[in-house]
Amino acid sequence: MRAVTWHGRADVRVDTVPDPAIQDPTDVVVEVTSSGICGSDLHLIEVMAPFMSVGDVMGHEPMGVVREVGRDVTAVRPGDRVVVPFNISCGTCWMCSQGLQSQCETTQNREQGYGASLFGYTKLYGQVPGGQAEYLRVPFGNTLPVTVPDGLPDDRFVYLSDVLPTAWQAVQYAATPPGGTLLVLGLGPIGDMCTRIAHHLGIEHVWASDVVPERIARAVGRGTDVIRSTDQAQVVGEIREATAGRGPDAVIDAVGMEAHGSPVAAIAQKASAIVPDAIMEKVMQVAGVDRLAALNTAIEAVRRGGTISLSGVYGGASDPMPLNKMFDKQIQLRMGQANVWRWVPDILPILTEGDPLGVDDFATHRVPLEQAPQAYADFREKKDGAVKVLLQP
């Protein structure tokens, strides 16, 4: 089959790789019909590169049609249409029973000290082949795939794999009170979807911060007030002016480790391109290498007693945080990989009853799998208005 494979920093290719096959009695094989490129995929060809290997199949936002099932699979059958969550969870362990599928005890990567395995995402998370491919082996066929109805386009459901539950969890963790104000830092796919979900859930005052014109236009068009800057002083000043000087009740950091405005961390990240992977891997596991500009803006902006919700990915082990200021402001902080199945029952009915979140036209680009290298480059450089890209094998 054809698949998007990792070959180095800023280097993805479409190669022919072995077809996946049933390995365990509860496996299923899915023919992929759509698969998103995520901002987290860009981390793999940049700062997280030391944890990748040449030939790794990328992608963790797939959906498709079941083509083969293991002998113990009863929940789906060939021909069923399914979305595949990005975190690989058994659905039956104690953690899964608590709605913490991202911490699944069956697939935890204990040797690495990390949580549940993820499709297409580094040796830290199991190095499991991903879904930017023609076919995908999916374990836990009775509990992991999300069955969706026929008759609607892939765009209606594909974001259940990651974007929708990640953004939904971010908004839930933010816990904006009735009548309150939410500020979203970053209007990439997750930040954009956070604003849409916030409006849908009735949050009265939704603000965001970004500088990319296409992203700003999308958010403004759906009723979000946008601060057209990522400069901390300007963002904090404008949001305080809009909130009687206090700041917003909640802030979502939808940017993460590669925020602009962190020169020291930027140097550390660039060093990963010249330092041998074996050395840089150890450095990243013990040092602070993240650009914390967005997180620092969130800490400065949020009102005293407010909440910060992190959906942006951070990879450094010892990033410096202003704990004195956080303690003094009595900030509540929530974060973590999205627990996809925790939120599916809340989100799926919204998708089948209509399109209030605008998922049908959420993608800015839909391209054949063979054009993935160029799509990655355009997304990385924010060219041609690229905000969300779907690959279609």
Q: What is the pLDDT of residue 265?
A: 45
- Identify the weakest region by mean pLDDT among 101-110, 280-289, 335-344, 352-361: 280-289
Per-residue pLDDT band at 320 (split at 50, 70, 90) = confident
Average pLDDT, the chain: 91
Per-residue pLDDT band at 273 (split at 50, 70, 90) = low
61-88: average pLDDT: 98
Look at 312 and 287; give whichever has higher pLDDT. 312
Measured CA angle at 15 (ends 9, 21), to 5 deg: 115
What is the phi/psi pair of residue 67, to 5°?
-115, -25
Q: What is the pLDDT of residue 289?
A: 45
d(CA 41, CA 389): 12
Identify any residues that bridge with 146 across adjacent strands, giving them in sequence order: 83
**The model's pTM:** 0.91
Q: What is the pLDDT of residue 257?
A: 63
d(CA 285, CA 4): 27
Q: To the nearest 10°, report the CA torsion of 172, 313, 85, 277.
A: -170
| Three state DSSP letters for the chain | CEEEEEEECCEEEEEECCCCCCCCCCCEEEEEEEEEECHHHHHHCCCCHHHCCCCCECCCCEEEEEEEECCCCCCCCCCCEEECCCECCCCCCHHHHCCCHHHCCCCCECCCCECCCEECCCHHHCCECCCCECEEEECCCCCCCEECCCCCCHHHHHHHHCHHHHHHHHHHHHCCCCCCEEEEECCCHHHHHHHHHHHHCCCCEEEEECCCHHHHHHHHHCCCEEECCCCHHHHHHHHHHCCCCCCCCEEEECCCCECCCCHHHHHHHHHCCCCCHHHHHHHHHHCCCCECHHHHHHHHHCCCCCEEEECCCCCCCCCCCCHHHHHHHCCEEEECCCCHHHHHHHHHHHHHHCCCCCHHHCCCEEEEHHHHHHHHHHHHHCHHHCCCEEEEC
Q: What is the pLDDT of residue 61?
A: 98
Per-residue tokens: 349:
């009915």
Domains and CATH numbers, the chain: 2-162+338-392 (3.90.180.10), 164-335 (3.40.50.720)
Q: What is the pLDDT of residue 260?
A: 45
Look at 89 and 257; give whichever has higher pLDDT. 89
Identify any residues that bridge with 185 across adjacent strands, giving them in sequence order: 209, 253
pLDDT at 286 over 50: no
Strands laid side by side in the 307-310 sheet: 225-227, 205-209, 181-185, 250-253, 307-310, 332-335
- Identify the weakest region by mean pLDDT among 107-111, 253-257, 290-294: 290-294
Look at 276 and 241; give whichever has higher pLDDT. 241
Residue 117 CB burial class (10 angstroms; 0-12, 13-18, ≥19): buried
Token look-up 């975190």 returns: 87
Positive/negative CA dihedral, 296, 298, 301, 306: negative
Residues with Cβ within 8 Å of residue 282, at least 6 apart in sequence: none
- How large is the greatest C-alpha to C-alpha distance in the chain, in angstroms? 62
pLDDT at 282 over 60: no
Token look-up 């063979």 returns: 370
86-90: average pLDDT: 97
d(CA 268, CA 273): 10
Q: What is the pLDDT of residue 267?
A: 44
pLDDT at 254 over 70: yes
CB 280 within 8 A of CB 271: yes
pLDDT digits (tens, 9 = 90+) for 219-235: 999 999 999 999 999 99
Q: How many CA atoms lie within 13 A of 262 on its CB side?
A: 23
Buried b (16+ CB within 10 A) or exposed e, 70-91: beebebbeeebbbbbbbbbbbb
pLDDT at 196 over 80: yes
pLDDT digits (tens, 9 = 90+) for 23-34: 999 999 999 999
pLDDT at 81 over 50: yes
95-118: average pLDDT: 96
pLDDT digits (tens, 9 = 90+) for 147-171: 999 999 999 999 999 999 999 999 9
> With pLDDT > 90 as the criterion, what percentage of the chain qualifies?
80
Look at 356 and 272; give whichever has higher pLDDT. 356
